[in-house]
């Protein structure tokens, strides 16, 4: 299924676009995390939180939750990869930090039922943009790619 907002192709059974976070199916009863009883309109591409129209922030056609810091993550950071597990994300981040590259982890584990286990769940690793190249190189040199999904969408 091609997303009407960002044109990225998604698997047919996903509820939300894995690239921009918009909700595809409006009959799925996913509630806004902040307002029970209100339908979610999208989910945050950083943390995975489902939010309604009122809570949602949109920046450059991507969906973010009500946490203002999340909409700013792509300004300063690049998504290094999605990890295959929270454990994998932490292991990769630890190795990056040990080599002087600060890493942020956002876990979507709580919301993975919404993704239906598409390859963006359950945790994403972000590094500062200027460190992205060094981080990619380090991950390859240290053979950490087994902990990461291969075909990631960048933010
Ligand atoms: Zn999209
Ligand atoms: Zn968020
Ligand atoms: Zn809401």
Instruction: Give the model's confidence band at 25: pLDDT under 50 very low, under 70 low, under 90 confident, else very high.
Output: confident
- Residues with beta carbon < 5 A to ion ligand 2? 44, 46-47, 49, 65, 67, 70
Do residues 78 and 102 make contact, with C-beta atoms less than 8 angstroms apart? no
Identify the weakest region by mean pLDDT among 38-42, 66-70, 114-118, 148-152: 114-118
Q: Which ligand is the nearest neighbour of the Cα of 1?
A: 1
Confirm if 83 and 63 have CB atoms less than 8 A apart: no
Would you state the pLDDT for residue 68? 93
For 40-89, what is each residue's pLDDT tens digit?
A: 999 898 888 999 999 999 999 999 999 999 999 999 999 898 888 889 99
pTM for this prediction = 0.80
pLDDT of residue 155: 43
Reported as a single tens digit per residue, the pLDDT across 133-142 is 999 999 999 9
Instruction: Of 124, 53, 56, give the one whose Cα is nearest residue 86.
Output: 124
Residue 45 half-sphere exposure, CB side, CA atoms within 13 Å?
26
Ion ligand 3: residues, Cβ under 5 Å: 32, 34-35, 52, 55
User: Residue 10: is its pLDDT beyond 90?
Assistant: no
- The predicted pLDDT at position 120 comes to 53
Helix axes 132-141, 86-98, angle to 10 degrees: 110
CA–CA gap between residue 19 and residue 61 (Å, rounded)? 10
Strand 57-59 relative to strand 50-51, pairing: unpaired
> Which ligand is closest in space to the CA of residue 66?
2
pLDDT (mean) for 123-127? 91
Q: Which domains does the chain have, with CATH numbers?
A: 74-147 (3.30.70)
Distance CA 149, CA 147 (A): 7
Round the average pLDDT of the chain to a whole number and report it.
86
């Amino acid at each position: 299924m091609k997303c009407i907002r960002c044109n990225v192709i998604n698997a047919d059974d996903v509820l939300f676009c894995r690239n921009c976070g918009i909700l595809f199916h409006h009959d799925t009863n996913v509630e806004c995390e902040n307002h029970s009883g209100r339908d979610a309109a999208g989910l945050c591409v950083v943390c995975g939180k489902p939010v309604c129209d009122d809570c949602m922030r949109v920046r450059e056609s991507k969906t973010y939750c009500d946490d203002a810091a999340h909409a700013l993550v792509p300004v300063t950071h690049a998504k290094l990869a999605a990890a295959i597990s929270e454990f994998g994300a932490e292991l990769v981040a630890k190795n990056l930090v040990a080599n002087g590259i600060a890493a942020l982890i956002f876990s979507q584990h709580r919301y993975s039922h919404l993704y239906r286990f598409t390859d963006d769940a359950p945790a994403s690793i972000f590094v500062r943009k200027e460190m992205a190249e060094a981080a990619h190189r380090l991950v390859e040199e240290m053979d950490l790619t087994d902990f990461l999904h291969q075909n990631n969408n960048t933010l």
